[in-house]
Structure 1
Amino acid sequence: MTRRDESVSNEAYYTVLGVREDRTREVRTVAHFPTESTTNWKDVFQDLKEKEVTVVDLLVCDGSPGIENTLADTFPQADLQLCTVHLKRNIVNKVKPWDKKQVMVKLKQIFAPDQWKITPEKAFETFKQFIQRWQKSYPPLKRYQHKRYRFYFTYYKYEKEIKGMIYTTN
């Protein structure tokens, strides 16, 4: 939210943090745009390159459509982790009140970062099975089986010490 004079508007602010080898963080850039879009992300990535950022290993962000293509075009070696909290909220918001608790419990199990021996592929398969079970009652959930949703499970390929730090933007 941005307040100007006597009005408030929703606008996009991108805060890009870099993580050093010693795991300390530094703010690399803060960018402001009227809306969120992949075009804006491309501008942010180009700005980072101009600031001599040569390597991005991992981008953790919300599920902005097309972000995976923009990242691949700019930093092709980078992994993408989409925010699991945003995804879980979106799913639960499509479920009737009497099913919310059961759905949320299962989502917490699927996305629990303390599962040390699960691969991103296996976690995504488990998620798709969950979606198949619930899409019978809630057909809009079918879209979550799309291969794009595999980017919500990238954190499972990282060491256990950082999984809890990278599975969400929160």
Structure 2
Amino acid sequence: MTQLQFNLNLDLLKESVMDSDIDSVIKASIVLVLNEFMEKERDDHLKARAYERTPSRHDYRNGYYDRELLLSIGKIVLRVPRTRNGDFSTTVFEQYARCDQAFVLSMLEMVVNGVSTRKVTNIVEQLCGHKVSKSFVSTLTEKLDPIVNQWANRPLNTMYYPYIFADAMYIKVREHNRVVSKAVYIATAVDETNRREILGLRVDHVESFEAWQRFFHHLQSRGLQAPKLIISDAHKGLKSAIEKEFVGSAWQRCTVHFKKNIITHMPKKDMDEVKIALKRIFEVAKVKDARKYKDEFINTFGDNPKLEKAIEILEEGFEDAIQYLNEKPMFHKHIRSTNSLERINSEVRRREKVIRIFPNTQSAFRLIGAVLMDYAEEVNKRIIPEKEEKKQKK
């Protein structure tokens, strides 16, 4: 594995932590991490794990008591371990002023950012003066599984999503002593209040009709209803799965992918005028105008034999690429392409490339799910500001 240089700026880290707005999911993660850390402290104090018989045992467990801890993000309640003799005392509370939130949040951030467990142990020791094992860090990351799983399986029947975006990206995973490529399927949406939301993800084998169908079945099992419009690229398996599983929903071919596909089949030189004319087709507000500019494009450049293939692609995919024009103009720039989803994919890729190869599928699901949860707060905002929407309605 590539060795990474991780230079910790504690002041900067603490400042970013104190200024952050952390949602309840991260707060729950903090509780899990601190509880597990105190459990490890008691094991070390007793010199024995739970139910372990050893001659070096110092004392015995005696349950837990609840204790509150006030953070800038709000109050949390921790389960503090006890011993029979009462001589065990956790260092979490007395050292929290020095370790601050940086201890827990840096660990969670490092997990999400794909930093190796070896690096995490070194940084924790630098932060708090405590040395923890790699297995301990691995155990902590695994405790994120129920949080990620709960988010990834939350109900989708509480809101109708008229516009859904779907895309897939590839990652490397170790499987049966081999490194294989796996596809990560991600779906986002715009709800009735014009807010973006990440619907879910799935890690599966190569992108195919069957795999996309399984992903859509998963979303439907959580209550997802057929949308008005599904925006994606023109992958055959994805398109077939959309037609099969969302009967009555229109399919919008991503205009960015579509234009790139057309331009790929154009000559490299002297195409500026052609590209401008092509771009104009998709910068209108009405279907009739798009068809008008498309016809003008063909009439103007149709006699050029070098553009024969490009024009063929344009005519074949044109109607699927202008479905967004049947919706309200205020939504056009947001639903004509998968750019919003591509940005999320880029964020996932930025974190994922640190690891390069995931040890297993579950670790990939855990990391990508954590990244999406972290990104969800930024995604979950109105795509049309309320004032602008009222103005456009007038």
- 2-structure distance, mates of 1:107, 1:9: 39
RMSD: 2.7
- 1-structure distance, mates of 2:179, 2:269: 35
- Residue 56 (1) aligns with residue 227 (2): yes
Q: Which amino acid aligns with 2:268?
A: P
Q: Which amino acid aligns with 1:94?
A: H
- Residue 72 (1) aligns with residue 246 (2): no
Q: 1:106 to 1:77 in 2, by over 3 A?
A: same
Classify the secondary structure of the residue corresponding to 1:12.
strand
Provide the aligned length of Structure 1 versus Structure 2: 164
- Residue 163 (1) aligns with residue 298 (2): no
**8 Å contact from structure 1 (residues 92, 100) kept in 2:** no
* 1:3 positional shift: 4.5
Deviations 1:52-78 (A, max 9, x none): 112322111111125444323211121
- Residue 152 (1) aligns with residue 321 (2): yes
Match of 1:92 among 260, 263, 287: 263
Q: 1:165 to 1:8 in 2, by over 3 A?
A: farther
- 2-structure distance, mates of 1:24, 1:51: 19
**8 Å contact from structure 1 (residues 131, 145) kept in 2:** no
Q: Which amino acid aligns with 2:337?
A: T
- 2-structure distance, mates of 1:127, 1:9: 43
Match of 2:193 among 22, 37, 46: 22
**8 Å contact from structure 1 (residues 124, 153) kept in 2:** no
Q: 1:152 to 1:100 in 2, by over 3 A?
A: same
- 2-structure distance, mates of 1:91, 1:111: 13
Ranges in structure 2 where 5+ consecutive residues have no aligned partner: 1-169, 340-394
- 1-structure distance, mates of 2:190, 2:338: 14
* 1:29 positional shift: 1.1
* TM-score, structure 1 normalization: 0.80
Deviations 1:93-144 (A, max 9, x none): 21112233222211211111xx22x21x652464365356346323322243
* 1:4 positional shift: 4.8
**8 Å contact from structure 2 (residues 205, 211) kept in 1:** no
Ranges in structure 1 where 5+ consecutive residues have no aligned partner: none
- 1-structure distance, mates of 2:204, 2:336: 25
* 1:22 positional shift: 0.8
Comparing 63-72 with 43-52, greater Cα deviation is found at 63-72
Q: 1:12 to 1:152 in 2, by over 3 A?
A: farther
Comparing 11-20 with 102-111, greater Cα deviation is found at 11-20
* TM-score, structure 2 normalization: 0.37
Classify the secondary structure of the residue corresponding to 1:137.
helix
**8 Å contact from structure 1 (residues 19, 25) kept in 2:** yes
Q: Which amino acid aligns with 1:127?
A: K
Q: 1:31 to 1:160 in 2, by over 3 A?
A: same
- 2-structure distance, mates of 1:103, 1:33: 40
Q: Percent identity?
A: 23
Match of 2:282 among 98, 111, 130: 111
- Residue 33 (1) aligns with residue 200 (2): no
Q: Which amino acid aligns with 1:90?
A: N
- 2-structure distance, mates of 1:153, 1:39: 27
- 2-structure distance, mates of 1:66, 1:129: 33
Between Structure 1 and Structure 2, whose CA radius of gyration is higher? 2
